[in-house]
A and B are shown apart, each in its own frame.
Chain A
Amino acid sequence: MTVPRLVVEEVSVRFGGLAAVDRVSLAIAPGEIRGLIGPNGAGKTTLFNAVAGLVYASAGRILLDGTDITRLPPHRRAHAGVRRSFQSVQLLGRLNVLENVLLGLHQSMARGMLASAADVLLRARREALAQTAAMQTLDYLGIADLALRPVAALSFAQQRYVEIARALAPRPRLLMLDEPAAGLSPAEVARMDGLLRQLRNEGMSILLVEHVLSLVFEVSDSISVLNNGRLISGGTPQAVAADPAVQAAYLGDEYNALT
């Protein structure tokens, strides 16, 4: 039995008296796409942020490949292999595409203060290696020709891809995508679908928060459903869609209309 890539164990996140996330448990295997859905205000974003480290769990544990990361600050979780994209694309407007992707590879160049300083001053070998890795990632995503363009000049879908490239370049163990399909055309969503499958087939674990239900139900290996901070359902897309609790929460007619 393999160690799960991510384990969320009885995690609660409280703000004052309010539990935005209430004793949620889930586990993601290596090479699995997990969809995380729920109505607005269900706690998806909070749970997402708790795993990424932007918010600390008030109770419970979070394990990455068996290692407890519950109390690690965000930059240490990034080192451990948790990388995320943001709902509203967060790129550095003053830099070009390549430089933005290089931001994701910061750790590979910054490891060990003295070694890093020596490298910067003398041979800059790490930077060269990082640039190669960044170009590889851009090539993989099919946007290598955009490498030197300023990000402000890109279309929205292209910016999305740059954001994903930045998260992907350091070969994360867990890729967390926050509504990657929002604002994309159907053709672009289909392309995103293909990309996620390809990553999964190569062994990447992906946690996907998404409102574009067609994508989530198509691409996820399994889905977790939150409502009012609690996990109300989980399992294969078919099982979740048929679950009356989920239908009651918000799906209902929408999904039936899709099938």
Chain B
Amino acid sequence: MRRRILALLPWLALCAVPLLTNGYSQYIINLILVNVTVITGLNFLLGYAGQFSFSHAALMGIGAYTAALLSARVGISFWIGLPLAGVASAAIGLLAAISAMRLKRVYLALVTVAFAELLVWVLNNWRAVTLGTDGVNLPVPSLFGWDVDGDKRVFYVVLACTATMWWLARRILESHIGRAFIAIRENEILAQCNGINVPLTKSLVFAMSAFYAGIGGALFALVLGFIVPASFGLLTLVTQFSAVVLGGPLNLAGGAIGALLLTALPEVLRDFQGLQEVIYGVVLIVCVVVMPGGIAGLLQHLGVLPAEALARHWRRLPTPAAPPSAADGTP
């Protein structure tokens, strides 16, 4: 019980943030929270399950456009559009999963790159629906008369969503499902021999990762108020990869650290795209070669973070009861 309260504290503390910020810093913080959701989703796929899929940014775009178009052009409330955004991205993400079943390694990467580029092309060129490069304005949503107007109000919405997605991620990754993801990353044959249905599990991780991208995309639309296809291309994807790698794959906290560090950068360096790219490039290369565990790995090494992300809840070891009964084959 005490553990649960301790886990809640950071989130409660965050509630006080709007008292301390001005407009612009609040906006950045909102963006960071959105990216925590998005990067967590990518961490599922890339960090835990080891599936090298390039479609994450495009799927985020699908979510953003779903929520924005439903609200702006069809009049469907953002509160309905938000979960629908997740579902839409998950459905399209499953398409990528279909190819993952049959394709190994590099082939998966190639097909997801092509798929991502195709999605962005659709966003750019299907002007009748998406308004193309003109972009889409998200009308200010309203919750029982309370207008989500301004960065501080947006913050609370984003905080609530991100906290929920974070909780969900923890439950899932600390369960047998999380172990199954790791098994698929390390050794698919071993996974099969232990009863894991690999195609089903792969579908699950692709769908979940895409769901997070979609929700993140919808929240992104809320934070920005206005979206264009260019936000969901390869540069964004590279930023996301860098965040996962820098923060630490295979580690939920790592994803948050990466999101934190790499959200401010595109804002601060908005006019210096070259410099941004140099930094992402260096981050990717150095972290992957020298620091494969990312910052979270480093912190674990230094003892700041608990040693094994998955074993964090092993405070009391389950005690064996009676010796096992005769192995008569009953499962």
Contacts and interface: CB of A to CB of B under 8 A. Distances in A.
Indicate if A touches B (C-beta under 8 A).
Answer: yes
B310 A99 contact: yes
Contacts of A127: 175-176
Interface in A30-63: 30, 52-54
A150 B321 contact: no
Contacts of B310: 95, 99
Contact of B193 (A30, A83, A126, A138): A83
Interface stretch (A105-113, A187-195, A212-220, A247-255): A105-113
B323 A110 contact: no
A106 B194 CA distance: 7
B279 to A, nearest CB: 28
Contact of A107 (B171, B324, B331): B331
Interface stretch (A7-15, A70-78, A231-239): A70-78
A98 B202 CA distance: 24
Interface residues of A, number: 62
Contacts of A136: 320-321, 323-324
B179 A170 contact: no
Contacts of A139: 320, 323
A135 B197 contact: no
Contact of A90 (B176, B177, B190, B250): B190
Interface stretch (B2-10, B151-159, B181-189): B181-189
B198 A203 contact: no
A75 B179 contact: no
A166 interface: yes
A177 interface: no
Contacts of B180: 106, 110
Contacts of B186: 92-94
Nearest to A111: B331
Contacts of B250: 94
B309 to A, nearest CB: 9
A139 B194 CA distance: 21
A128 interface: yes
Contact of A54 (B176, B193, B314): B193
B308 A107 contact: no
B52 to A, nearest CB: 18
Given A102-B176, A148-B314, A170-B331, A135 B192 contact: no
Nearest to A85: B193
B196 interface: yes
B271 interface: no
B318 A128 contact: yes
Nearest to B322: A136
Contact of A140 (B198, B319, B324, B331): B324
Nearest to B179: A103
A131 B195 CA distance: 17
A92 B187 contact: yes
Contacts of B317: 135, 147-148
Contacts of B198: 75
A118 to B, nearest CB: 11
A109 B176 contact: yes
A211 interface: no
A72 to B, nearest CB: 11
A130 to B, nearest CB: 7
A107 B195 contact: yes
Contact of A106 (B172, B179, B320): B179
Which of A5, A95, A126 has the most B CB atoms < 10 Å from its CB?
A95
A105 B194 CA distance: 8
Contacts of A106: 176, 179-180, 194-196
A134 B183 CA distance: 17
Nearest to B317: A147
A110 B198 CA distance: 13
Interface in A146-201: 147-148, 150, 166, 168, 170-173, 199
Contact of B195 (A5, A75, A121, A168): A75
A98 B314 CA distance: 10
Given A79-B195, A95-B179, A103-B194, A120 B172 contact: yes
Contact of A78 (B193, B314, B329): B193
A168 B194 CA distance: 11
A4 interface: no
5 contacts: A73-B192, A83-B193, A95-B308, A128-B318, A147-B317
Interface of B: 168, 171-172, 175-177, 179-180, 182-183, 186-187, 189-198, 250, 308, 310-311, 314, 317-321, 323-324, 326-331
Given A75-B195, A136-B320, A168-B327, 20 more contacts: A74-B193, A75-B197, A75-B198, A78-B195, A90-B187, A92-B190, A94-B250, A99-B310, A102-B176, A103-B179, A104-B194, A106-B195, A106-B196, A109-B176, A110-B195, A120-B171, A120-B172, A120-B175, A130-B176, A171-B330
